[in-house]
Structure 1
Amino acid sequence: MKFSIIMPVYNAENYVDKGIMSIVNQTYNNWELIIIDDGSNDNTYNVCKKMIFDPRIRLFRINNSGPSYARNYGLDKSDGDYILFLDSDDYFEINALNILKGEIEKNNSELIFFANYTDKYKNNNYIIEKNNSIKEVVYKNNNDLKNDFINLFQYSYIYPVWNKVYSRKIIDKYNVRFLESIKFAEDLVFNMKIYPHIEKAQIIKEALYHYVSRENESITTSFNINRFEQLNTMYNYCITVIKKWCPKAINLFSNNYILEVSVCMNSLFNKDSILKNKERRTFIKHMVNDKRVRAVIKETTLIGKRNILIGKLIMFHQIDLLYMIAKLSRTSFR
């Protein structure tokens, strides 16, 4: 059994070695690490190049095209029986592959969800702050997975690709690839392409992955002018799958969409935003008038005080209040 670990890297010269060494030091040896430098403009490529002292590591350099393209590139270059994804600032437990191999052999799983640690990187130290573990489950068929989908959704297990191992046969059979037109929630779109086709899956409680939170290096603190359009692209694809595959999750997923709309408003006030106040108001007005947003609010039973408030303000075109809430949320909360 061979594992392919796909690792896109971009401007990660200060910490990429941690993730690479977490694979090199694995207690299970049949693996390949495919590193894709996505057009870094720092010294990342040279740092990675110096670390290719193991023939199981392959390094590729491409023009900057975003994480979806880089991961697809890695998928095309890989030949393992099972696929994992590693972000450049994160790392695996050194026994991760050995544990996954044992679980796959025991249950013949096509997909495994595994727990993760949340680390805080501060003052050159990695500090474990949380073990994001839930109850172990074995799904014997797709219906079992579908029936537990809301539970997985509420624990945020359905979103990322880095807390899963995937059967290559499923990825190839259904030609599953990342949607390259978006740089937001691309993980979720990839996963929603897979979930309806999985017959054997499981959750294991062992935390095998370290998700590292670095100060001032979060997607929530970086401005993306296309975030709202990409959010809609993601929602349109995923809700189509959910309506057909797991309709009981529609309301929960739609509530999450409204929450993300408010996050898009907040992001207009990020530190690196170049927008002027008039432009911010224009963007908020654009979201408020968006037919999709208004239809989702109308058709959804909103959950939580924030969503209920944002939903009402949108439906009543309260641009000024939404502007003030977004500004205050960014300056006081994020």
Structure 2
Amino acid sequence: MNTQSPVITVLMPVYNGEKYIKEAIISILNQSFRNFEFIIINDGSTDETENIISSFKDNRIRYVKNQKNLKLIKTLNYGIELAKGKYIARMDADDIAMQDRLEKQLDQFLLEDKIDMVNSQCLLLNEDGNKSRKNRTNISLNYEALKYVSIFQTMIVHPAVMIKTSVIKRFKYSDQPNAVHLEDFELWNRLFENNIVCYTIPEPLLYYRLNSESITNTNSKQQQERIRKMTISILNNYGAEIDNEALDLIQGQCEKCNFKMLKKTDLYLCNFFLKIKKHDLISVEGYSDLLLWKDFKISYVSIKSFKRSSIYNKIGILFFLATKTPSIINIKLIKKIF
């Protein structure tokens, strides 16, 4: 290991990652910014993961092997304790970092001292390695808006995050039962409740792999139910309640929708965000981004469910979208999506 004190710690846990880990490691070692340590924690893998890691002879790599499978949260917290860098950049063993990822994220910290965490957009990568498309379900938001939108939807790309080491060592990932399989969703909301500032770079700096064997996919039903409960709990802290249908629609758990559901959800979000504004909890710019996200989310759900809907409901969806046309064609929103 290089004796020079690293500016950044790249933290990558891995369990049975032989299929993609070589690409992930190469993408980090080839970064344009060079002053980092690369902590790779093998969480008890039983495949060729260890041999692949050992084949790299780069003194920036700090290889750590758990004697048994500790699972993701404990492994991440262990890595956080080991980190020597001023900033920690998360990385997953099945993703690919763009060559200037670390450099561009570090630049944001140096530009604005109040920033605690830097997020970025990502491009989606299928299991065959084909680089497909931009993640259209996420848009870049003002840091204030991000706090309230994150109650409903994870807008932060977990393996694309860089965060101040002092911040993540203070908060860490929760190992409580209600945080299992949604450690990122729980952490972001806890950070925002403590006024942590997150800036989102509006360009992709990571290829995020759509992996059918990932925790998100193998535990999706359990994960969604826990996210739902956590969302309701956070809303209750704001003195707000939400209709079950509206929450299903916002969180993508509604297979079909109709005019009544869309109207109800739109009104709920309008009222909740207006309440935030009236209590002086957000700036004019932040409030504007909340409304942009609302229009984006409801329009996205409407269009996605259109094909599966009956003729009657299709007419209702089209009528709803027609009433929202000025919002949908908002130039600022279009720029954020594309």
| Short-chain TM bin | 0.5 to 0.7
Q: Is the 8 A contact 2:151 2:234 kept in 1?
A: no
Pick which of 190-199 and 78-87 moved more.
190-199
Q: Distance in 1 between matches of 2:205 and 2:29?
A: 15
Determine if the alignment matches structure 1 residue 244 to structure 2 residue 243.
no
Distance in 1 between residues matched to 2:64 and 2:239, nearest whole Å: 38
Once the two structures are superposed, the pairs formed by residues 297-308 of structure 1 within 5 Å of their partners are none
User: Relative to 1, partners in 2 of residues 1:127 and 1:153: Cα closer, same or farther, differing over 3 Å?
Assistant: farther
Gaps of 5+ in 2: 1-5, 256-267, 270-297, 306-338
Same amino acid, percent of matched pairs: 24
AA at the equivalent of 1:61: K
1:289 aligned partner: none
Structure 2 SS opposite 1:211? strand
| 1:8/1:104 CA distance change after superposition, 3 Å | same
Secondary structure in 1 aligned to 2:175? coil
The Cα shift of 1:127 comes to: 1.6
Structure 1 partner of 2:49: 44
Name the structure 2 match of 1:5.
10
Larger fraction in strand:
1
Alignment counterpart, residue 82 of structure 2, candidates 67, 70, 77: 77
Offset of residue 5 of structure 1: 1.4
Match of 1:14 among 13, 16, 19: 19
CA displacement 1:35-65 (0-9 Å, x = unmatched): 11111111111211221x2222111111112
Alpha-carbon distance between aligned partners in 1 of 2:140 and 2:251, rounded to the nearest angstrom: 30
What are the Cα deviations for residues 299-334 of structure 1, in whole angstroms up to 9, with x where unaligned?
x99x97999xxxxxxxxxxxxxxxxxxxxxxxxxxx
**Residue 194 of structure 1 corresponds to which residue in structure 2?**
191
How big is each residue's C-alpha offset from its partner over 1:200-255, in whole Å with a ceiling of 9 and x where there is no partner?
A: 332211201111124x4344664x5x964x66555555543443369588979943
Change (3 A) 1:5 1:261: farther
Q: Within the alignment, does 1:129 sit opposite 2:126 as a pair?
A: no
Distance 1:248 1:81 in 2: 40
Specify whether residues 250 and 107 from structure 1 end up closer, same or farther in structure 2 by C-alpha distance, changes over 3 A only.
Answer: farther
- The aligned residue for residue 200 of structure 2 is 203
Normalized against structure 1, the TM-score is what? Answer: 0.64
SS at match of 1:114: strand
**Residues 1:157 and 2:155 aligned together:** yes
Letter in 2 for 1:120: N
Q: Distance in 1 between matches of 2:38 and 2:108?
A: 21
Equivalent of residue 107 in structure 1, options 94, 109, 112: 112
| Alignment partners' CA distance in 2, 1:64 and 1:120 | 27
Aligned with 2:59: secondary structure? Answer: coil
Residues 1:87 and 1:131: Cα distance change in structure 2 (over 3 Å): same
Please give the root-mean-square deviation of Cα atoms over the aligned residues, in Å: 3.6
**Which residue identity does 2:172 align to in structure 1?**
V
> For residues 242 and 170 of structure 1, what CA distance do their matches in structure 2 show?
25
Go from structure 1 to structure 2 and tell me whether the alpha carbon gap of 1:258 and 1:29 turns closer, same or farther (over 3 Å shift): closer
For 1:212 and 1:117, locate their aligned partners in 2 and report how far apart those are by CA, in whole Å.
Answer: 9
Matched, 1:29 2:26: no
Match for residue 176 of structure 1? 172
- The alignment's TM-score, normalised by the length of structure 2, stands at 0.63
Tell me what 1:217 maps to: 213
Aligned residues: 253
Shift of 1:33: 1.1
